[in-house]
């Protein structure tokens, strides 16, 4: 355990996140200094002392960050009227320098620990700043290395170009959550439940979902629908009749003339059939995902995918045969036991298939996943992600004619890297940009989904649906009331 003591409660989340970025395998606690006597001294790690609030607007004041282990310390004079954002950045810079010196590590993303690092350069570019000025700002303020600073700016610029062709400000998008999967993968923490256990409740779930669809269709009929994304879970765990029921309900309830993108995350190869592909094509689905995560048989067994490499290829070819011209594939780097050679082999297999887009994830160790138990038995050292493996995936995407178009990060990512979406020209995922950059309001339906309203001034408000499918079915009227309140709907 690593303890960080503070003299007053503020910035705890930022402090905790940055320490975890350096020490993902450690439990980290941020406590008041007066509480430290309750813990063993050897657990004491950092001490942070904030200024006296009474002097904050009148005099320069000190921010002190000290290491309990050795004599590492920073004492920084903070000027009066320093706003909260500036203060947080100064604090994280001081912490970063100490943590880097103690650990011997340099983090590629510097002090950035949030999931949307491209929002910052995008905002700066929108304000008219040059790419060179944004580059120096990202390096000086957040201590990014050159490669990540350039990547964040490249993607932000590309996203702005894509969005310039879409009237997203005057529209909204829909997310539909299907919280069922063939099995639960080792690394998964999403809202997903084994379909075998819930098979008898799927019709009830669709009944509730249709009630939510009716509400949204009625309340948003004067609004322009930009994109529709069906995710999960694995939407194609629905059988053919259930899948057609859902797609028919959607396409008859909403005006799809304005829809720029209709995506279904087919995901698991063991849930894809030729009949389901035919149904999706019939109802206008344009973009699907066939997600192997890796093309190594042994790893697929370890992570509990329930299918082999051959099934992935069969599902992909079947989708092409059905007429899909926009197929995405997801991969995860840093999976248990995988080496640089394994990643190279996976990328060679993917290049043979040549999908239209590729999302490359760095493994994120989630508390709610079974991966925690696996690590306890096998050790964190078996999960490896490096600059070299990131580079192998990036080069393979380049070889397939793809460029990076969106990016996001998660907590506790292997190697402190990122997730990057690559695509061929015109094959990007519009919904991915809208949701990740928080550029548009989202009506999210189904268990575990989160709706959000994006206001003109940049404010964002959210309302979530309960995660448990049984509770979602029972409380569907309450889920609708939450949306009414969030979107200020009067019916």
pLDDT grade for 78, boundaries at 50, 70 and 90: confident
What digits encode the pLDDT tens for the residues 169-185?
899 999 999 999 887 77
Please indicate, yes or no, whether residues 97 and 128 belong to a single structural domain of this protein: no
For residues 74 and 140, membership in a common domain is answered with no
Residues 47 and 180 in one domain: no
160, with CB counted inside 10 A (0-12, 13-18, 19+), is: middle
Indicate which CATH number applies to the domain containing 324. Answer: 3.80.30.20
Residues 364, 421: one domain? yes
pLDDT above 90 for 166: yes
Instruction: Read off the DSSP letter of residue 119.
Output: H
Judge if 80 and 203 occupy the same domain: no
Mean pLDDT along residues 210-216: 98
353/240 same-domain check: yes
**Angle CA(355)–CA(226)–CA(489) in degrees, nearest 5?**
140
- Shared domain for 339 and 461, answered yes or no, is yes
For residue 318, is it within any domain?
yes
CB 294 within 8 A of CB 313: no
**Domains in the chain, number:** 3
Q: Is residue 416 part of a domain?
A: yes
Cβ neighbours of 126 (radius 10 Å): 10
Residue 297 has pLDDT above 60, yes or no: yes
Q: What is the pLDDT of residue 38?
A: 85
DSSP codes joined into one string, 359-416: EEEEPB--TTSTHHHHHHHH-GGG----HHHHHHHHHHHHHTT-EEEEEE--TTBGGG
Q: 60 vs 331, which has greater pLDDT?
A: 331
Asked if the structure places residue 40 within a domain, the reply is yes
Over residues 21-44, the pLDDT tens digits come to 999 878 899 999 999 888 887 888
| Residue among 443, 433, 427 at smallest CA distance from 483 | 443
Q: What is the pTM of this model?
A: 0.91
d(CA 112, CA 118): 11
Q: How, if at all, do strands 419-423 and 357-362 pair?
A: antiparallel
The answer as to whether 469 is a domain residue is yes
The pLDDT value recorded for residue 72 is 84
Q: What's the chain's Rg over C-alpha atoms?
A: 24
Are 443 and 434 in contact by the 8 Å Cβ rule? The answer is: no
Q: Which residue from 275, 391, 312 is spatially nearest to 344, judged by alpha carbons?
A: 391
Q: Would you place residue 420 in the very low, low, confident or very high pLDDT band (cuts 50, 70, 90)?
A: very high
- 213 occurs within a structural domain: yes
In-domain check, residue 430: yes
Element (H, E) at 342: helix 340-353
Give the range of the structural domain holding residue 31, as residue numbers without chain letter.
2-103
pLDDT, tens only, 337-382 = 899 999 999 999 999 999 999 999 998 766 656 666 666 666 665 6
Both 200 and 149 in one domain: the answer is no
- Say yes or no: 156 and 185 in one domain: no
Q: Residue 411: its pLDDT value, please?
A: 76
Instruction: Tell which of 60, 76, 103 closes a domain.
Output: 103
10 Å Cβ neighbour count for 483? 21
Q: SS3 for 291?
A: coil
Residues 6+ apart with CB under 8 A from 71: none
Is the pLDDT at 413 greater than 80, yes or no?
A: no
Whether 230 maps to a domain, the answer reads yes
- Res 121 pLDDT > 60: yes
Q: What's the mean pLDDT when you consider all of the chain?
A: 91
Contacts 24+ apart (CB under 8 A), 366-372: 366/187, 366/188, 366/189, 366/411, 366/412, 367/189, 368/189, 369/186, 369/187, 369/188, 369/189, 370/184, 370/186, 370/187, 370/188, 370/304, 371/186, 371/187
Residues 219 and 357 in one domain: yes
Contact 398, 415 (CB under 8 A): no
334 closest CA partner among 307, 289, 374, 306: 374
71 with 134, same domain? no
Q: Is residue 111 part of a domain?
A: no
Helix (H, G, I), strand (E, B) or coil at 343: helix
How far are the Cα atoms of 49, 62, 97, 275 from residue 86, in angstroms, in the given order?
17, 14, 17, 56
pLDDT of residue 396: 98
| pLDDT for residue 197 | 83
Round to whole Å and give the CA distance between 223 and 177. 21
277 with 149, same domain: the answer is: no
Smallest CA-to-CA distance from 273 within 314, 308, 305 is with 314
């Amino acid at each position: 355990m690593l303890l960080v003591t503070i003299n007053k409660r503020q910035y705890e989340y930022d402090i905790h996140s940055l320490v975890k970025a350096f020490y993902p395998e450690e439990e980290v606690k941020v406590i008041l200094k007066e509480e430290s006597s309750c813990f063993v001294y050897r657990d004491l790690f950092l001490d942070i002392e904030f200024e006296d609030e009474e002097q904050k607007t009148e005099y320069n004041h000190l921010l002190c960050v000290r290491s309990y282990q050795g004599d590492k310390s920073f004492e920084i004079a903070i000027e009066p009227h320093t706003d909260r954002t500036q203060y947080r950045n100064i604090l994280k810079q001081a912490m970063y320098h100490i943590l880097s010196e103690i650990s011997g590590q340099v983090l590629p993303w510097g002090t950035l620990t949030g999931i949307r690092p491209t929002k910052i350069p995008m905002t700066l570019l929108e304000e008219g700043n040059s790419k060179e000025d944004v580059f120096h700002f990202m390096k000086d303020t957040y201590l990014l290395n050159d490669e990540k600073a350039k990547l964040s700016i490249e993607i932000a610029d590309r996203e702005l170009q894509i969005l310039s062709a879409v009237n997203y400000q005057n529209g909204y998008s829909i997310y539909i959550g299907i919280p069922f999967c063939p099995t639960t993968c080792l690394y998964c923490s999403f809202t997903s439940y084994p379909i075998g256990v819930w098979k008898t409740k799927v019709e009830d779930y669709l009944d509730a979902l249709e009630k939510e669809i009716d509400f949204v269709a009625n309340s948003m009929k004067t609004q322009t629908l930009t994109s529709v994304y069906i995710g999960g879970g694995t939407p194609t765990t629905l059988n053919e009749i259930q899948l057609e029921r859902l797609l028919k309900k959607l396409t008859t309830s909403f005006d799809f003339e304005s829809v720029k993108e209709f995506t279904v995350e087919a995901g698991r190869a063991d849930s894809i059939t030729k009949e389901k592909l035919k149904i999706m094509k019939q109802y206008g689905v344009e973009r699907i995902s066939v997600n192997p995560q890796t093309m190594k048989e042994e790893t697929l067994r370890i992570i509990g995918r329930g299918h082999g490499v051959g099934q992935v290829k069969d599902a992909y070819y079947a989708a092409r045969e059905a007429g899909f011209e926009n197929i995405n594939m997801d991969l995860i780097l840093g999976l248990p036991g995988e080496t640089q050679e394994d990643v190279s082999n996976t990328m060679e297999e993917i290049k043979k298939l040549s999908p239209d887009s590729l999302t490359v994830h760095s493994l994120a160790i989630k508390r709610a996943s079974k991966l925690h138990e696996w690590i306890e038995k096998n050790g964190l050292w078996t999960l490896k992600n490096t600059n070299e493996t990131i580079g192998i995936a990036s080069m393979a995407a380049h070889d397939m004619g793809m460029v990076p178009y969106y990016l996001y990060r998660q907590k506790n990512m292997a190697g402190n890297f990122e997730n990057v979406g690559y695509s061929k020209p015109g094959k990007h995922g519009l919904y991915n940009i809208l949701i990740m950059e928080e550029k548009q309001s989202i009506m999210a339906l189904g268990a575990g989904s989160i709706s959000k309203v994006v206001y003109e001034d940049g404010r964002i408000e959210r309302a979530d649906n309960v995660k448990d499918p049984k509770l979602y079915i029972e409380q569907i009227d309450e889920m609708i009331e939450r949306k009414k309140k969030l979107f200020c709907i009067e019916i």
